[in-house]
Amino acid sequence: MDVTVVLAWTLNTVILMNILLACFVIFVERRDAGSTWAWVLVLFFLPILGFIIYLFLGRQLKSDNFYNLSVDEQTYYAHQIQGQLERLEKDEMEMPPAVRHKYRQLMEMNLRAPKSLIGLTNSLMILHDGHQKFDQLIADIEHAQSEINIQYYIIQRDALGRRLLDRLEERAAAGVKVRLLYDGVGSRSLKEKDFNVLLEHGGEVRIFFPAIFGPVNLRMNNRNHRKVCIIDGKIGYIGGFNVGNEYLGIDKKFGYWRDTHLRMEGDAVSLIQDRFILDWTYAGDKKHREDESFAFASHKVRSMKPVQIVTSGPNSKTEHLKNMMIKMIMSAEHDIYIQTPYFIPDKSFMDACKMAVTSGVRMHIMIPGVPDHPFVFWASRLFLGELLQYEGVHVYLYEEGFLHAKMMTVDSEIATVGTTNLDARSFRLNFEINALVFDSHTAMTLEELFESDKQRCRMLTKKEYDRRSAGVKIKEGISGLLSPIL
């Protein structure tokens, strides 16, 4: 057969495949316009390679009953949600009147969309240093009596990872039920032999979206980014710290690691437990739902600090956590404080920020001063530069080490802390979890930490940003085009 005929046939086949896949992305998957255009460009500018990239990074998950809940389970959750909605509507929810009235719509939105129940009585501890966080976590693990459920996106095979596993092995040997869940991409360096002792003592280990063979993982773009731990059904952890030496601030590449985690006791712990159970069950045997018992302990906490545990993921029909943050921004009257390692919002989020600041709200945003991912860093600068054109926006670049905290407060009244970055990956592609806290003391403490962190920052002004070089503008422009898929 003539070589030119073969080449022409191959070229026509590739073009046809790209056209069909582009039609699938546009008409079947129905993504947002920015993401759709980004994938169409990838498909047509990178023939064949673009198709392979799509297989690994572009496929969407089903959203209808992703966790395979039974009819009874769905009915139970629906009853719980409806009960709290009715109590809010009748103004019967036991919480401070100022919070109940100003943030009722925010609570109702979270109840209806991501089905996030409200835990009314809680005590909270804010952990912002790696040594502080892991010393406290390991101390709680060492005192566990019945059950430890622990989930991390990244668990490194280093000194801190080994220290955590050693404590889990000891508690499992003492008869404590230990369940460990980690992400197949974030913790891909882990090996089966790392868990031999834990398994021998009756512990269980599961992988969320494991690789098919070797390093090949067809779900590498949908990561379980959650970081939680529930101990005896009484103590819960949620926040940004993963497990690794860098999170202790001893990695030379990153330097000091500034992050935020919450330790909780009270009603919210069972809500974190509920979310862990869904991920744990999904990562198990899909042929049947295991009859497992989990600890849901009573508590003696009486302080009125309402908390909603809000989750979102690629299985969600709407971007729950993004919508929650937009609603928070739109409720602000005075000040908004944001700490995030990545600031790559979509148009709806940017519009909310602009409406807030043009309404007289002051917005304080802190990001890392040095990049860990260059494209993400320059895209963040692009969006922040756009906001700097508005009066009332203050941007700070953290320079002591790396800022990884994911935190937002509004009017010193409410706050959210969790795993969610302000980018398309967290809003649409990753499984994320945040605590939304309706408590002024917690919000003010987080704002005080922000003010303290400013001493380790350099302020980025409109004047400085407008003087950036042509090279920086090119980097920002390219990164901005890629922002929907970063």
Place of tokens 């090996």: 191
The two structure tokens encoding residue 413: 């009244």
Element housing 148 (H / E):
strand 147-152
Catalogue the active-site residues.
Answer: 225, 227, 232, 404, 406, 411
377 Cβ neighbours under 8 A, 6+ residues apart: 368, 370, 371, 479
Cα Rg of the chain (Å, integer)? 23
What would the DSSP string read from start to end of 353-410? HHHHHHTT-EEEEEEESS-SSHHHHHHHHHHHHHHTTSTTEEEEEE-SEEE---EEEE
C-alpha–C-alpha distance, residues 483 and 424, integer Å: 8
Asked if residue 307 lies in contact with residue 435, where contact means CB atoms within 8 angstroms, the answer is: yes
Taking CA atoms, 297 is separated from 80, 400, 475, in Å, by: 18, 41, 52
Show Cβ contacts of residue 111 under 8 Å, excluding neighbours closer than 6 positions: 81, 84, 85, 88, 117, 118, 308
Nearest to 370 by CA among 245, 214, 254, 210: 254
Q: Are 123 and 301 in contact (CB under 8 A)?
A: yes
Query: CA 413 from chain center: how many Å?
Result: 22
d(CA 89, CA 93): 9
Q: Is 335 helix (H, G, I), strand (E, B) or coil?
A: strand
Amino acid (one-letter) located at 6: V
Residue appearing with tokens 């406290």:
136
